[in-house]
Chains A and B, each alone.
Chain A
Amino acid sequence: MSFMSVETEGVRRANMYKEVKLQDGGMEVTAEILAVNGLKKHFPFKKNWFGKGIEYVKAVDGVDLHIDYGETLGLVGESGCGKSTTGRTIIRLLDPTEGQIFFEGENITHLGKKQLRQVYKRMQLIFQDPFASLNPRKKVGNAISEVLYVHGMKDRNQRREKTEELFEMVGLRKEEIDKYPHEFSGGQRQRVVIARALAVNPRLIICDEPVSALDVSIQAQIINLLMELKARLGLSYLFISHDLRVVRHVSDRVAVMYLGKIVETAPTEELFKEPAHPYSKALLSAVPVLKPGSNRRKLVLEGEVPSPVNPPSGCRFNTRCKYATRKCREVEPPVKCIGQQHFAACHLY
């Protein structure tokens, strides 16, 4: 089955959100559901006597990205590159050190708790570990019901009805509402978590490694569910994952992150066919192919990722890049447009 039958509905909805926003907004950035400018998140790593940081882990160090209505942006990179921190800072679980976050045209960078609650009606987060994101002492139905209550649905029966509806939407039986998390398998728990995220009618969902903890056969079920929901509800996703095969499958555009910065952004097909940045090239060639004896030449990277406390000067990839010149060691490459919607930060271009 393809998603064609329901696709139009999703696209229509996404466009509707966009148009409504364009009409009442009038701001420049409103054509995008999310726009992030120069986002930085530094964690103090050593502190002086006064408790003030003197050394910082620069987990996210100047990230620009945007997501259109109804679009899925994949964010890939290796562990420690700052992709999860980016996701968490965007949804304001972490306070950004610098930079701005625009969500549906509204600057949410410095919103307080109360105002953020309004934002969370339209933006939600799904974590990797479905075992840790549900309270083991609470029935799963109550976990969802609580979200509905917090966001203003005070009538009990109405909440129950809505919860049942959500359960069916994510492919769970509605009798399962009264079960506890331990009675579910990993895949089913992830479905519950998705249902909870959908409880508030979000438009953007940040998925942080949503399928990494699941077995292959279950992974496919959850990926299909996420794509189906997108097509049906006109959702946009920021899809954070280290699994390039999965990212390629679900994303419209992909951003590659290395050591706190985005080194390349491109439409999925283009990135996988012709990656421009040397790091993207190496990363993509390292993905094991499902063909034995294909003998594809791998660009095996030498060495390890440098520490984000003292990132290398100039281009951050210069210590592992075989094309690195003196310029790369001294001057940080600007982001250049090298094709339609294709951007790379490398002196080669």
Chain B
Amino acid sequence: MKDEILKVNDLAVHFHLDKRIIPAVDGVSFSISKGETLGIVGESGCGKSVTALSIMRLLPSPPAKIAGGEIWFKGENLLNKTDEEMRRIRGNNISMIFQEPMTSLNPVFTIGHQIAEVLMQHKNLSKKEALSEAVEMLELVKIPLPEKRIKQYPHHLSGGMRQRVMIAMALACDPELLIADEPTTALDVTIEAQILELINELKEKLGSAVIMITHDLGVVAEVADKVAVMYAGRIVENADVHIIFNDPKHPYTKGLLEAIPDVDMDRGQRLKEIKGLVPSPDEIKEGCRFKTRCEYARGKCMIEEPPLIPHGSSLVRCWNYG
């Protein structure tokens, strides 16, 4: 692949709790190239955020432990980096936007101070230079009156504004990879539209790669080029965004798409539900992880877990395709 910037190989993350081991992420592999947006979708607890946090090496250990796999970023395995080296990579090369902008900003420092701090740390700028660049960054994310805003505190800003500040901060050092973990979940639709447009625009302008983690398939349809669907710690389908929406392969992906009432669907008709619940990690003993909720489950699905099977240009973890 050309310009491959990040490659995750067989990543496994386990949480050690009271002598129990919970495999939150289990053998996840994907790659992403320059200028590309990868959407990772799944329901709560499927391991999508844990995947992102382990790329950033931000998981507290213990309880979390990266039990296996490799994370190649520009030819170097991030898992072999020391904490000091990681600190330099975070912000400089990879940065992250979180869901809740209020908890990710420090309430006792001004916006300007917080953006300038990033620039001073990573680019060795003086305070004055850093502040003037902070103003430019706020302009880039279309915050009106940036000179005034840098002197304000987070509580002065609305949710959408705060998320813009977070994006400005994340982009301050021109990272090659931006990880956005549910960046619009806490926001209203009209503000969500603004933020998604902004992320798309900045991606074009700066040419960085984006990993968009979300539970909302609508957001994925809007911004992603490639999609990885996760279920119970595993990727169950990995394909181009058009294929995911027009010709989904895995029963779980199909189920998710049918469960959402879309704007051009018949009103009032019964929604297709995915029966049952997501299994807890202890319940997964053998066979396909989706077997308890799958309408196509048959003999082989009960005993043996399917690998990611290539089908056309997509990868599907389902015996129906193997």
Contact = CB atoms under 8 A, between A and B. Distances in A.
Given A215-B43, A217-B273, A283 B189 contact: yes
A28 to B, nearest CB: 30
13 contacts: A79-B188, A185-B277, A187-B277, A217-B43, A248-B263, A268-B267, A269-B267, A282-B190, A287-B218, A290-B217, A290-B221, A292-B224, A292-B242
Interface residues of A, number: 44
Interface in B170-212: 188-194, 196-197
Interface stretch (B6-14, B126-134, B253-261): B253-261
A218 B44 CA distance: 11
A165 interface: no
Interface of B: 43-44, 158, 160-161, 188-194, 196-197, 215-222, 224, 241-242, 244-245, 255-257, 259-263, 265, 267-274, 277-278
Given A220-B259, A220-B273, 17 more contacts: A2-B269, A215-B43, A216-B43, A216-B215, A223-B261, A245-B263, A283-B190, A286-B189, A288-B193, A288-B216, A288-B219, A289-B218, A289-B222, A290-B262, A292-B242, A300-B190, A300-B194
Contacts of B271: 220, 223-224, 249
A280 B164 CA distance: 24
A290 B217 CA distance: 7
Interface string A208-232: 0000000111111101100100000
Question: What 7 pairs across the A-B complex have the smallest Cβ distances?
Answer: A288-B218, A249-B261, A220-B259, A217-B274, A78-B188, A215-B43, A286-B193
Contact of B192 (A286, A290, A292): A286
Interface in A241-287: 242, 244-246, 248-250, 268-269, 272, 282-283, 285-287
Contacts of A242: 188-189
A227 B224 CA distance: 33
Nearest to B45: A215
Contacts of B216: 288
Interface string A55-89: 00000000000000000000000110000000000
B142 to A, nearest CB: 10
Contacts of A245: 218, 260-263
Interface of A: 1-3, 78-79, 185, 187, 215-221, 223-224, 227, 242, 244-246, 248-250, 268-269, 272, 282-283, 285-294, 298, 300-301, 304-305
B260 A216 contact: yes
A215 B43 CA distance: 6
Contacts, number: 124
Contact of A292 (B188, B241, B259): B241
A287 B196 CA distance: 12
B272 A290 contact: no
A233 B244 CA distance: 39
Contacts of B196: 288
Nearest to A282: B190
A3 B273 contact: no
Contacts of B255: 217
A195 to B, nearest CB: 18
B158 A304 contact: yes
Nearest to B161: A304
B261 A304 contact: no
Given A245-B260, A249-B268, A221 B190 contact: no
A79 B160 CA distance: 12
Nearest to A72: B268
Given A220-B273, A288-B221, A250 B263 contact: no
Nearest to B198: A300
Contact of A272 (B161, B242, B263): B263
Contacts of B217: 216, 290
A249 B190 contact: no
A283 B193 CA distance: 10
B190 A286 contact: yes
A64 to B, nearest CB: 24
A292 B224 CA distance: 8
A3 B270 CA distance: 7
Given A220-B274, A291-B245, A78 B262 contact: no
Contacts of B215: 215-216
A286 B241 CA distance: 20
A248 B196 CA distance: 23
A41 to B, nearest CB: 21
A111 B116 CA distance: 58
B87 to A, nearest CB: 35
A103 to B, nearest CB: 25
A282 B188 CA distance: 12
Which among B216, B256, B277 has the highest number of chain A CB atoms within 10 Å?
Answer: B277
Contact of A289 (B161, B262, B268): B262
A3 B268 contact: yes
Contacts of B267: 248-249, 268-269
A223 B256 CA distance: 14
Contacts of B194: 300-301
